[in-house]
A and B are shown apart, each in its own frame.
Chain A
């Protein structure tokens, strides 16, 4: 998986590509832990993300909880496979998916 990070002022955009699963999610967790401070608008671009596992969902949930306290978080470009996972797990209810 690759993570492309762009920070402008208080807006951070993370563009993910590949698979977000048990082996790759610690990478995203580190990235968020390191740079989420002071961010008020977190945008995640999933247009090149192929798959997300429960380990990846856990990271999204943690990020969503953090952003609930300091601003907003939104996800764009979700493909059908991932959308189905979001729906099955009920994540579609708590995430802002555009």
Chain B
């Protein structure tokens, strides 16, 4: 049992592990595919998001500029007087700055003018000195405001450039800077007003043109992505708002987006996989184990009723339900089969018992106490019958006809088994009756009578070969008749065993009205007569060779000085040695008479 449980655990782990490994591999492949696909998609997404963000930043700057009613004048003024203006870049509304002082001074001198809402008419009516003061104040305030926009949106550069139709230069009008950032003319420094950068890149020129003519434009490459949006025309040039965003920062966003999307997909898949495994466990493995447990229970104790009610109680659905119904049907079949086998086995045992009983009855019918006439010294005999099946059709017989005569019979019924044994019993009784009814009959007459009697009750067309001899114990004379049986083998004193080729009649029971011959021969004192059925010479070995008459006669000659029992044993041993393990089909029946004769005479 321990082994079985171990095996079961291993197998169950197997199914879950196999499916889990498959899911994991699938998740890995899908995750990888998703990553590359998302990378491609999110670059587009991020670009478009960035583009619209930068556009709204630029729009906000434009609104900031446009809020000043005098914005056009201001832009022109800043451009025209860039060199003369005294600019404070980092005023940042702080108290005590130059710009605050300038604003206070301006308000004091022109209390009717609000700086934020001053119109172009109001400003142009002022003195050149005050115009400059105003332009400086607003420029400083504008820088403060776009600094704030840059800080809020966390972009790298925010500025306004002027360019012409060739787009071959950028004139920086104003730029935002972080607090404390250095203003200078080096790359990546925040350019001051009036700084001019040459534009060589066609990409950039194209971007600026697009922005100027139609709509905002994001440059596709470079260390920074620049977004340009049209602001206004200034002194015959075009003013554009530029917003720059570090490409590597953009790519970081792309990657973050990619990783986020990929993680979402993978997590989704893992959750789905876990759910599938759970369902597999609940709907397949769990019921399967229950069914398995019941099958084992049935294997162990063959209790079908319990297994059936157990399985029905589970109320399994889907294929598992079908499987459990199949198991119930199988158990029913097995039960029926077992019952059938039991019946057959009982029947077989009964038949076998009856057969062995029949075999004993048959054996008991034959004279079996040896020596049969212990008081007689003039004759000794021994006989044996070894059936091939439980019962056979051979038999031997001997009985006293009168005080001085012994009848010797050896016979072989055609066929085998119970039919032959029944026929043999009838023949034996009829033969004994036919002989003993009148001691004066000749063997031929006995045979003819016996044949008629057997034929009368023989619808099955069985027949029997039979040798009958009547030995006169006083003289050793044998009167015999042979109905189709094997030749007797005789040893006279001083000689060896020799086959007696006697006159043969037809088998008994074969045909009505057959006439039989009879003959006589003398057994001198110390003669031995050997009678047998065809099972002896026709015993077959594994090579399909027959034992044969020659081997039989040789064996008899080798044992010719033995007692009848010794001679029969010798023949039995010789036949057994010859046949080896080959299955024997015929009975082995023998009878040997030793006529000692009257020792006193």
Contact = CB atoms under 8 A, between A and B. Distances in A.
Interface of A: 21-23, 53-55, 57-58, 61-62, 65, 87-91, 93-94
Given A22-B585, A58-B414, A89 B506 contact: yes
Given A88-B504, A93-B506, 17 more contacts: A23-B585, A54-B413, A54-B465, A55-B415, A58-B414, A58-B463, A61-B463, A61-B507, A61-B511, A65-B461, A65-B511, A89-B465, A89-B484, A89-B504, A90-B483, A90-B484, A90-B506
B449 interface: no
Interface residues of B, number: 24
A94 B510 contact: yes
Nearest to B507: A89
B528 interface: no
A90 B507 contact: yes
A94 B586 contact: no
A61 B510 contact: yes
Nearest to B506: A90
A58 B415 contact: yes
Contacts of A94: 506, 510-511
A58 B507 CA distance: 10
Interface of A is mostly: helix
A57 B414 contact: yes
Contacts of B484: 88-91
B534 interface: yes
Interface string B453-497: 000000001110100000000000000000111110000000000
A58 B412 CA distance: 13
Contacts of B461: 58, 61-62, 65
A42 B537 CA distance: 31
Ranked 10 nearest A-B pairs via Cβ: A90-B506, A89-B484, A54-B414, A90-B484, A58-B414, A90-B504, A90-B505, A62-B461, A61-B510, A55-B415
Contacts of B413: 54
A57 B245 CA distance: 118
Nearest to A90: B506
16 contacts: A21-B585, A22-B416, A22-B585, A23-B585, A53-B586, A54-B415, A55-B416, A61-B461, A61-B510, A65-B511, A88-B487, A88-B504, A89-B465, A91-B484, A93-B506, A94-B510
B414 A55 contact: yes
Nearest to B503: A90
A77 B466 CA distance: 28
Nearest to B462: A58
Interface in B517-570: 534, 538
B489 to A, nearest CB: 13
Nearest to B511: A94
A91 B102 CA distance: 159
A84 B510 CA distance: 18
A88 B510 CA distance: 14
Nearest to B508: A90
A91 B416 contact: no
A91 B510 CA distance: 9
Contacts of A62: 461
A61 B506 CA distance: 11
Given A88-B484, A90-B506, A57 B416 contact: no
Contacts of B585: 21-23, 53
Contact of A91 (B412, B485, B506, B534): B506
B412, B413, B507 — most chain A CB neighbours (10 Å):
B507
B415 to A, nearest CB: 5
A21 B586 CA distance: 10
A89 B485 CA distance: 6
A22 B415 contact: yes
Nearest to B540: A51
Contacts of B486: 88
Contacts of A90: 483-484, 504-507, 510
A54 B487 contact: no
A76 B259 CA distance: 101
A88 B485 contact: yes
